[in-house]
Structure 1
Amino acid sequence: MVESVPPNPNSLVPPATAGDPPPPPPTRSGGFLPTPRRPGIRVTTEFDSDSCIFFHRISCKLFDSLAKLKLSFHNNNKGEISEPQLALTSKHLSLHYDLEEQNAFVKASFDVAPCLQLRAAHDVKAQQGEVAMVADLAGPAYKLELSSAVPSVGLPRATFRFPLGEVILEEKEEEEVKRMLSVNGILKGHVLKGVCTAQYKDENLNLRYSYKDEQMALIPSISLPSNALSFAFKRQFGPSDKLSYWYNFDSNYWSAVYKHKVGKDFKFKAGYDSEVRLGWASLWAGDEAGKAKTAPMKMKVQFMLQVPQDDIKSSAMMFRVKKRWDI
């Protein structure tokens, strides 16, 4: 029988027992600090066959997702690069730099008090910007915003937002009168199981009523003082089929769209627009309103056929592709 050797009392490594797991392997760096991990890079490419132009966007998150760096540019089929832009964005500060124009646009927002926020925007090349103060009144649903252009050209614009709409008071310059106060606003309210919206802007009033249930939507609207009346009708035929129709009584123009969905990632749409006398059909692979990262293979594809009513021979087939890579 072999006699066991007692542990060395001067050793820095504690003796291992039968129940202890094996020690972890040494790190590749050999140091005590972990090696910083390279931030993930996202590359998104879009192509439109109608313009034959590629749009590329390269982005990555920095400082443990506290900021985001993004580079975007276009290039045509000849490989010529145009509109390169570099952006660094965070929660309170964003910087957009146009490499061709050599111009920077800076936006910042800070909380100067629990219910008071300061926002600022500045165009470096144009030497113009805007400063705004936003205050919460009786909770976040009620806000008062005072904004002014820099350099100032008149009184600041005041915007009051509340749960049923907003009211904007600003100074405008007219041809006959140099400067005058203008009032614009939006007001919403529930009427007869629907929502009535009144929008007043530039001395024009638009009244819109929207009634919706699980199968149907009726949306009449009228503009005053032009008395332009329009009507929209939407009908849901089950969870996958929907028909939309719009008619303008003033111009007699109308349009119709039929939509059929297959699951979440496939959609077929067909329609006609009498104003441009054009019929069309499109097929989507990937959620039309979603992002490429949620689509199968992180790619969205749209095929569209356009058929002019007056010249069927000039029909055109177009497609769009959007693909994302995570590196």
Structure 2
Amino acid sequence: MVESYNPNPDPNPNPNPNSMDLTVSVPPPPQNPNFYSEQEPQISPPNPSFFLPVPAIRLTSEFDSDSSIFSHKISCKLFDSLAKFKLSFQNTHKGEVSNPQLGFITKYLSVLYDLETQNAFLKGAFDLGNKLQFKAAQDLKAQQGEMGVTACLGDPSYKVELSSAVPSIGLPKATFTFPNGEVTLEEKPDEEVKRVLSISGILKGQVMNGICTAQFRDNNLNVRYLYKDEQLSIIPSISVPSNALSFAFKRRFSPSDKLSYWYNFDSSFWSAVYKHKIGKDLKFKAGYDSEVRLGWASLWVGDEDGKLNIAPNNMKVQLMLQVPQDDISSSIFMFRIKKRWDLLS
């Protein structure tokens, strides 16, 4: 017979080795009193990567004192920057809103909707392999658009593009692009009902130490020569058959100072502009235009040609003073300011 388990065994067991110990060794009860209790299942916190990230929203506002109009644009990138949504509108100092537009832009398709005219503009493009690209644009309200296809001829610098208006009103326009320029063939109206084939193009080539460019369009030929080194640029040009001759001259005195001068021999009009940069984000300009008899000076705070996101505090400011030569008392002071706010980032 097996003896029952005694939780308090005798501290002095029988020392007789011939006796048989029939006591069954049972492990002690667990120390955790809740070990045998029913445990509630533990719910792990949600994985943050499961939820879509909050898109960064940006507001860009611009004010031009000349027109006294505020321009605003609200934009955000969606689906990990695969698409972009934007809302743009204008308003006066009285709060009147005008030109509201909605835009949805992706790599292959963009849609612009005008809320005032209730009209949509569609534009799309996609590649078929590495050699062909299709593109199309459509004005839904006017029922007019354009479509075209571009093909690469082996070397990417050689391309042929065919484009046509929708609905078609004649032969498609053909453009051939090559390393030294391009040539375009298209039909243009010569009279009310007659259409003729027109050719236009541009050719570039190196002549001596400069670049010569010849541009032909609408039976006019313009030939321009550009010589440029680190300090000096000389740009003479002539147009045929008008024989209009002009001359441009640019001189860089230092990395911060530059003077530009342009003269038209046919009309004797001339203009000059002096530029001075102070650091990276401050630029001063002053100039005179003899055709309108106007002198002016401007100051840019923030990179004039750079993007707004690299400007200090995401802001650009332009101050300008215009002084008419005939009436100095009617001088005008104008300014423009452009600022971007990152509402969510």
Q: Distance in 2 between the 1:94 and 1:199 partners?
A: 33
Residue 263 of structure 1, CA deviation = 1.1
- 3-state SS in 2 of match to 1:142: strand
State the partner residue of 2:26. Answer: none
User: How much has 1:291 moved relative to structure 2?
Assistant: 1.7
Q: 1:157 Cα shift?
A: 0.3
Cα 1:297/1:305, change in 2 over 3 Å: same
Provide closer, same or farther for how the CA distance between residues 78 and 227 of structure 1 changes in structure 2, counting only shifts above 3 A: same
Moved over 6 A (4+): none
Larger radius of gyration: 2
Alignment of 1:106-255 (within 5 A): 106-175=122-191, 178-255=194-271
Q: 2:87 aligns with which of 44, 57, 71?
A: 71
Taking the aligned partners of 2:174 and 2:89, their CA distance within structure 1 comes to 37
Give the residue type in structure 2 aligned to 1:266. L
Measured against aligned partners, the alpha-carbon deviations of 1:32-56 in whole angstroms (never above 9, x if no partner) come to 4534321000100000011100000
The structural deviation recorded for 1:111 is 1.3
Question: Match for 1:183: what amino acid?
Answer: I
Query: For 2:77 and 2:158, how far apart are their aligned partners in 1?
Result: 34
Is 2:80 aligned against 1:47?
no
Structure 2 SS opposite 1:141: strand
SS at match of 1:79: coil
Question: Are residues 184 and 177 of structure 1, via their aligned partners in 2, closer, same or farther at CA, if it must alter by over 3 Å?
Answer: farther
Stretches of structure 2 that go unaligned for 5 or more consecutive residues are: 1-29
Q: 1:162 to 1:105 in 2, by over 3 A?
A: same
Equivalent position of 1:15 in the other structure: none
Aligned-pair CA distance for 1:139 = 1.7
Listed one character per residue, the Cα deviations across residues 166-222 of structure 1 (whole Å, up to 9, x for unaligned) are 000001110287011100000000111111000000000000000100000000000
Q: Matches of 2:260 and 2:47 in 1, distance apart?
A: 64
**Alpha-carbon distance, 1:113 to partner:** 3.1
Alignment RMSD: 1.8
Distance 1:293 1:177 in 2: 51
For the structure 1 residues 274 and 5, does the alpha-carbon distance in structure 2 shift closer, same or farther, using more than 3 Å as the test? farther
Q: Deviations over 1:119-177 (max 9, x none)?
A: 01000000001110100012211110000000000000000011110000001110287
Output the amino acid matched with 2:239: S
Q: Supply the distance in 2 between the matched residues of 1:209 and 1:155 (Cα, whole angstroms).
A: 35
TM-score, normalised relative to structure 1: 0.90
Instruction: Give the superposition deviation at 1:59.
Output: 0.2
Q: What's the CA shift string for 1:69-89, capped at 9, x where partnerless?
A: 011011001100000111111
Change (3 A) 1:169 1:301: same
Q: Does 1:31 find its partner at 2:46?
A: yes
Identity %: 68
User: CA offsets per residue over residues 291-315 of structure 1, 9 Å max, x none?
Assistant: 2211111100000000000010000
Provide the C-alpha distance between the structure 1 equivalents of 2:190 and 2:86, rounded to a whole number of angstroms.
41
Q: Distance in 1 between matches of 2:192 and 2:47?
A: 75
